[in-house]
A = this chain, B = another copy of it.
Amino acid sequence: MTSHPLAYAARAARFRPSGVRSVFDIAMRPGMISLAGGSPDLSVLPREQVAELAAGMIRGAGPDALQYQPAQGLDGTIEAIREVMRAEGVDAAHDRIQVTAGSQMGLQVLTTLLADPGDTVIAEAPTYVGALSVFGGLEARVAQVEIDEHGMLPDALEATIARVRATGSRIPFLYTVPTFGNPSGASMSAARREAVVELCRREGILIVEDNPYGMLAFDDEHRLPLYARDPENVVYLGSFSKIFSPGVRVGWLAAPPELRGRVQLAVEAMTIHASVVGQVLAQRFITETDWRGHVRRSADVYHARRDALMAALDEHMPPGTTWTRPHGGFFTVVTLPPGTPVDGLLDAAIDARVVYVPGSEFMADGSRADTLRLAYSFEPEHRLAEGARRLGEAIRALG
């Protein structure tokens, strides 16, 4: 035993267990159906081909894949990233791309560089729980803006900006997941995109656009990233996690070159650079496989799963329950009817061998306890149906 208790820094108290990660272990229990984590389905991946890529990465690139490399990222990886962005209608110059150890790190670094303690980040209500943990860890406040099925409401955004500024708190940036949002599944319409970009430009507020799901559409609508509309005032966060593999831990950001350079310095202090084996594997996946076909097949899988989950919710949720109907991505948010008991619901669901993430995790103030985030990305259709059945049972058992 240590003879003196460890004295933590004040900021240590800001790192709390996230609801998503806490249920990660639970989701691994035998017999458990997980509607919790946002894991992609990797069964569609051409495994033998990826195995050959991995071997070729060592044989071909040789020691380079195993050595220290430039902190911006490998040139070849940056070019592969540019190809991915072009598929979404975005042309970003090489010197605007910074490779990160996942886009979580991109957001961590941006917030470190842009938000002083006490500043107020604006985000959607609800928003990505991992973003809230970054903001909290760096002592930024969060103001969340109402959304509907077409994403953030520009009027509500304008009102929030005014309200925050009236408190004297500075707004370092707007954080948004405009396409197939996490957790809502909602996407900004083209009109909303234009309005939000225009409003932020006028108000002098930088936009941080997080776009891990943008390519996983269930329809043919092209949802042009905000970055393409105003590359000088939007920072784009991208990721290989949902179109290839989360395990490589490779993401990127696109930003004006001066900001990109500062991001590189912070990345160096944090982890020197992203995993090179991860970078080379992701790069080879883009340059040497039919990656667009893989993304299309993945989206088809998620599309069918969304349908299976929606049908099962229709069948098993209590009357008056509502949920979002996303046109892409991984998630829906379920809102229980008014008056439904929610205390103990997660425990009851786990007892019934189904796990989800409480909606309150996606609100900085812990509100919205009457909502649940359900992921349809990972479980096959029959298990999604059974999960919805178990969830309905758990809700009724508490009622």
Contact = CB atoms under 8 A, between A and B. Distances in A.
Interface stretch (A107-115, A144-152, A219-227, A329-337): A107-115
Given A47-B59, A62-B47, A114-B8, A104 B270 contact: yes
A117 to B, nearest CB: 9
A343 interface: no
How often does this chain occur in the complex, in copies?
Answer: 2
A6 B206 contact: yes
Nearest to A261: B17
Interface stretch (A67-75, A82-90, A174-182, A183-191): A67-75
A327 B368 CA distance: 61
A341 interface: no
A2 B137 contact: no
A270 B11 CA distance: 14
Nearest to A241: B68
B271 A101 contact: yes
Interface in A231-252: 232-233, 241, 244-250
B249 A116 contact: no
B47 A2 contact: no
A361 to B, nearest CB: 13
A274 B271 CA distance: 10
A244 B24 CA distance: 30
A48 interface: yes
B201 A3 contact: yes
Contact of A63 (B43, B57, B104, B278): B43
Most chain B CB neighbours (cut-off 10 Å) among A3, A7, A277: A277
A24 B18 CA distance: 38
A67 to B, nearest CB: 5
Residue among A37, A102, A271 facing the most chain B CB atoms (10 A cut-off): A271
A134 interface: yes
A137 B6 contact: no
A116 B139 CA distance: 13
A265 interface: yes
B55 A270 contact: no
Interface of A: 1-4, 6-12, 15-18, 21, 24-25, 37, 39-40, 42-43, 45, 47-48, 50-52, 54-59, 62-71, 101-102, 104-105, 108, 112-116, 119, 130, 133-134, 137, 170, 172, 201, 204, 206, 232-233, 241, 244-250, 256, 258-259, 262, 265-266, 268-278, 281
Given A51-B55, A55-B55, A134-B269, 7 more contacts: A64-B247, A69-B247, A133-B269, A246-B272, A249-B271, A277-B277, A277-B281
5 contacts: A9-B116, A47-B59, A68-B247, A102-B272, A108-B270
